[in-house]
Structure 1
Amino acid sequence: MIFLSAAAPIGLLTGFLAWSAAGGASASLDRLAPISAQLMALRPLASATLRQTPRGEGLLAMPIFALTVGPGAVREPAIRVDGLSVSRRRAAALVSIDGAAAQWMSVGESQDGVTLRAVSASKAVFDTELGDKELGLGEQSASSAPAASASDSVEVSPTIVDRIPPGFRSPPPPASAKEQP
């Protein structure tokens, strides 16, 4: 019983002596000095950027989602895959963007807002402002028309009339409903 009550203080004392012999607090501070210097070098850049923009302007300047309709809408480019090349050294796709002449794009290369992300033997994956597009050889993404303006009107033809279909029977009233005379 005596040994158990003395074990914790002896262990703490032994650990403290070993820590002190290894250099104590100064040893850990010496290892952190280069990292602290790098962090201090980064701090002025981040704080200067925050000071230059008025409060809240950064949140309103960049939308989280791209607009697809209305004023300021993002137009998605029409992409057509005319060829694919996969070798040990290079993966590329022969791509036509918005009907322009087809050009070879390597993986990671960007052109007219379209980035080639991946190429396989039968398909290519592109990153656009509206998300990823996966197209096979010879396929074309849906060509996008210019964004519709507020002055454009859409006519709806009244071909569908709201009426009860023939043979429809409404459900019976609930048992708790009162009968009307």
Structure 2
Amino acid sequence: MPAQRADARRNYARLLVIAEEEVAAHGAEASLEQIARTAGVGSATVRRHFPGRRALLEAVFRNRVEALCTLARDLVDDHDARTALLTWLSAVTAYASSARGMAVALSPDPTAGSDPTPESACWAVAEAGEPLLRRAVQDGAVAPGVAMVDLIALITGIALTTEHHSDPAAEADRLLRLTVAGISPQQ
């Protein structure tokens, strides 16, 4: 792939800053056309850098996704597999619920079939969390058959449900704890 021209790199960087502002204000429904207008470029320029809304969201949240992947790698050798997994799931939930649009970026792309594609944020996060889940299952802290994509779906569902709550991060955390504990009383 040839290197981008300097003006293309500048356009991308400017578009990304504006996209971050638009996504923060409007979530996953941020307008690509508004981003183009604000940047003073044509919509074709925006679409050349971000062929669709999902590509835009994944670019906006790339650093957060990388931070979650790093955290998963840092926690993988924790002595308590259950605590490590729950710490990481809490971080994913906090990120997804505190940044409008991130839950959509982490959700599997419905146009890509049932499995996330390797270039997607969903795939990166699921792949990073897989060793944590595998250890928790081996230690008996999580039931066999639980898949990381299932846990990501739960988290994104929680984040989307709490997006308009007065304190989305606190409500998302409460719902995650409820999900982890289950709804049955302890025996």
TM-score by length of 1: 0.16
Query: Which structure: greater helix fraction?
Result: 2
Query: Which structure: greater strand fraction?
Result: 1
Of structures 1 and 2, the larger Rg is shown by 1
